[in-house]
Amino acid sequence: MSGEPWEAAFARGALLWGEAPSPMAVRAADDFAAAGLREVLILGVGYGRNALPFLERGLEVQGVELSATAISLARERLGLRFPIHHGAAEDLPPEGAPVHAVFGHALLHLLDADARARTVAAARARLRPGGRLRFTLISTEAAFFGQGARLGDDRYERAPGVALQFFHEARIRDELGPWGALRVRRAEEPAGAGPPMPFFDVEIVPGG
């Protein structure tokens, strides 16, 4: 994670995480394509790098992104033209086009508990019957867990204005289990020259 505020970096044209998608986005795209899921909504799509594997597999992509600057980078630097709703994922309008799947990489752990619940609810409202939700969450096993001002249970201010909620399996099951059947897998995110960051890759299949 860069120490520079994200919006300032976006404003000077920086692609903070490069152009290559996260391995977790690639895995989700493979899984969705194999399951015959054709439409995906990407929460916190940023400048679009994690949309690439879904597009490459022929899925119809929509995005949601709070930063207008990041959306401009998606258009101007990566040449992406799929629809992107400008706003917070938790305020996603339910009347938008329904999708077979929702993917959110490294998003929920940036939100407080109330915003996380609203985000999952908003995503659930956009799913077609039989759809899936997929989120990646930073683990309490991360090397920097516990660093910064403590804001709550396993929640720390990692950088000015950037609070992280760290997750373990029990928290995932307590918080996301009520939304449906869970599949929880461990995953890793490359972190430059340092060791990879441990994540959870969580799929939710809502019931009813």
Among 50, 60, 59, 48, residue whose Cα is nearest residue 21: 50
What is the value of pTM for the model shown?
Answer: 0.91
pLDDT at 159: 82
Per residue in 32-59, pLDDT tens? Answer: 999 999 999 999 999 899 999 999 999 9
Mean pLDDT for the chain overall? 90
Per residue in 66-109, pLDDT tens? Answer: 989 899 989 988 899 999 999 999 998 877 889 999 999 999 99
The dihedral through the CA atoms of 189, 191, 195, 198 has a sign that is: negative
Q: How far apart are the C-alpha atoms of 109 and 111, rounded to whole Å?
A: 5
Residue whose tokens read 């029990």: 170
Q: How far apart are the C-alpha atoms of 64 and 191, rounded to whole Å?
A: 25
Per residue in 118-151, pLDDT tens? Answer: 999 999 999 999 999 999 999 999 999 999 999 9
Q: How far apart are the C-alpha atoms of 49 and 15, rounded to whole Å?
A: 9
Locate the domains of the chain by residue range: 6-205
Q: Give the burial class of 114: count Cβ atoms within 10 A of its Cβ; 0-12 exposed, 13-18 middle, 19 or more buried.
A: exposed
Per residue in 83-94, pLDDT tens? Answer: 999 999 999 887
Architecture, CATH, for domain 6-205: 3-Layer(aba) Sandwich (3.40)
The answer to whether the beta carbons of residues 156 and 166 sit under 8 Å apart is yes
pLDDT at 94: 74
Cα distances (Å, whole numbers) of residue 207 to 40, 124, 130, 178: 19, 11, 8, 10
Residue partners of 146: CB distance under 8 A and separation at least 6: 156
